[in-house]
Amino acid sequence: MFKEYAANENNPKWNNMIEREKDLYKRNNDIRSEFERDYTRIIHSNAYRRLKHKTQVFFSPENDHICTRIEHVIHVESISHTIAKALGLNTELTKAIAAAHDIGHAPFGHQGEHVLSQISKEDIGELFWHEKNGLEFVDKIELLEDNLKNKQNLNLTYAVRDGIVSHCGEIDENKLKPREEYVDLQTYGKPNQYAPYTWEGCVVKIADKISYLGRDIEDAITLRILDEHLEELHKLLNYHSSDVINNTVIINNLIYDLCTNSTPEKGLCFSEETFDLIKEIKKFNYKNIYLSDRLKPSAEYFKLVLNQIYQTLKKTFDGKNTLKNINNMKKFYPKLCDSFEDWLSNYWDLPRKETAKNDIVFHMENEKEYYKAIICYIAGMTDNFAVEIYNEIIGF
């Protein structure tokens, strides 16, 4: 059905899709496609690895059965693969986009994102949002060693980069088609500003929503947050009171409905009945999960942790004396200062290692750029590391 629109050499958008910001080194014995190369570059990056210790919705670092950000990413990868395969689209592209779509998320989930956005708006004059931060991470921050042991950025294809910054999962209309325009992705100013450039990007965008709706309910039931709302939930899902609410069934039903109702003419869409159900599930989740009193104490804690780390590093800025101030503060906060300096040294305009072939990102005498560097550094933290650094700051 969608096969003639898939991301392949016959697609008129193909050359734009596989375009990279810079030439990527090649091996004589490499058998991977362009999108497969993207996928492996993503999963070998540190930002991808750290997703296993970042909150999805519930801050529960000791519970192995509560969804973390990496598990959510794997779910989206699986769901988008199923949809793309059924529709005849390029599964290699959906796999790469899905793997990287949340690579820009801050610690502590959307609550952490909200804290960093408030900081960024106040000190830099721009919002922090994880889709745009994900693009900046793969373009400027994440580093891999090439075949000559030189550090370079991920340098992904346009189609994957576009899928990252365009994946905002909040879909208010029951249809989704790719845009025709080839735009400079750096011009994105807000989430959901443009539709994705490819059908595969559209698939990942919808898979993101399918993934989290049911899983958040499952986790909330496990944590007993929904004990008083189970009857309401059973009615909403049209389940019998004795039925077990099963996330895999919810996912399967949504995928089947999407695949049987979508056409290139209509776009990716659900039946009206299913789309209405999705809206009701989302409303239920916001009321009883995301805005639950049970989550408010952790939100306050996240705000305290991230603001304290930011303010501690912020006060070191003093133009040419900034690095000296960081070193002077090491006697109090050795882990924070060593970690930040080691990270920042990859991107500053001070002397760098010969193997650093990535572009300079932050100029040390530029106050706003320094604040942006702190925000990027914090955004890359895992929940555990952020808590560890906070405890170092408040401890003696």
Assess whether 37 and 176 both reside in one domain: yes
Among 220, 196, 199, 219, which residue's Cα sits nearest to residue 71?
A: 219
241 and 323 in a single domain? The answer is no
The tally of domains found in the chain comes to 2
For residue 181, how many other CB atoms are within 10 A of its CB?
8
Residue where one domain finishes, among candidates 240, 269, 291: 291
Looking at the fold, whether 85 and 194 belong to one and the same domain comes out as yes
DSSP-derived secondary structure for 208-256:
HHHHHHHHHHHHHHHTTTTGGGHHHHHHHHT--TTS---HHHHHHHHHH
Residues 203, 92 within the same domain: yes
Phi, psi dihedrals of residue 268, rounded to the nearest 5°: -75, 120
Same domain, 252 and 323: no
Cα distance between residue 311 and residue 116, in whole Å: 12
In this structure, are 173 and 317 located in the same domain? no
My answer on whether 268 and 300 are in the same domain is no
Q: What is the DSSP letter of 359?
A: P
| d(C-alpha 14, C-alpha 33), whole Å | 13
* 304 in the same domain as 218: no
Residue 210 in domain = yes
pLDDT at 181: 96
Note whether 247 and 72 are within 8 A (CB): no
- CATH number of the domain that residue 62 is part of: 1.10.3210.10
- Considering 291, 323, 345, which residue would you say is the last residue of a domain? 291
CA atoms of 85 and 3, how far apart (whole Å): 10
Indicate whether 358 belongs to any domain: yes
Tokens of 91: 């599964």
Q: What is the pTM of this model?
A: 0.96
Environment class of 189 (CB within 10 Å of its CB; exposed 0-12, middle 13-18, buried 19+): exposed
Whether residue 118 lies inside any domain: the answer is no
Could you tell me if residue 147 is inside a domain?
yes
The residues, ordered by sequence, that sit 6+ positions from 279 with a Cβ below 8 Å of its Cβ are none
287, 301: one domain: no
Tell whether 109 is covered by a domain: no
Could you tell me if 179 and 203 lie in one domain? Answer: yes
d(C-alpha 124, C-alpha 46), whole Å: 26
Among 244, 259, 291, give the residue marking a domain's end.
291
Q: Domain residues for 368? A: 295-394
- The structure tokens listed for 173 are 């209309």
Tokens of residue 31, six digits = 């058998």
pLDDT for the residue 156: 98
375 and 341 part of one domain: yes
DSSP string, 145-200: E-TTS-EEE---BHHHHHHHHT------SS-B--------GGG--STTSS--SSHH
The answer to the question of residue 363 being in a domain is: yes
Is there a domain that residue 135 lies in? no
Specify whether 164 is located in the same domain as 30: yes
In whole angstroms, what is the distance from residue 303 CA to residue 311 CA?
Answer: 12
Residue 207 lies in a domain: yes
Strands of the chain, DSSP E: 143-145, 151-153
Is there a contact between 97 and 167 (Cβ–Cβ < 8 Å)?
Answer: yes
- Name the residue type at position 57: V
Q: pLDDT tens digits for the chain (396 residues)?
A: 899 999 999 999 999 999 999 888 787 788 899 999 999 999 999 999 999 999 999 998 778 889 999 999 999 999 999 999 999 999 999 999 999 999 999 999 999 999 999 999 999 999 999 999 999 999 999 999 888 888 999 999 999 999 999 998 666 678 899 999 999 999 999 998 999 999 999 999 999 999 998 899 999 999 999 999 989 998 988 877 667 777 888 899 999 999 999 999 999 999 999 999 999 999 999 999 999 999 999 999 999 999 999 999 999 999 999 999 999 999 999 999 999 999 999 999 999 888 888 999 999 999 999 999 999 999 999 999 999 999 999 999
pLDDT at 169: 62
Distance CA 65, CA 192 (A): 31
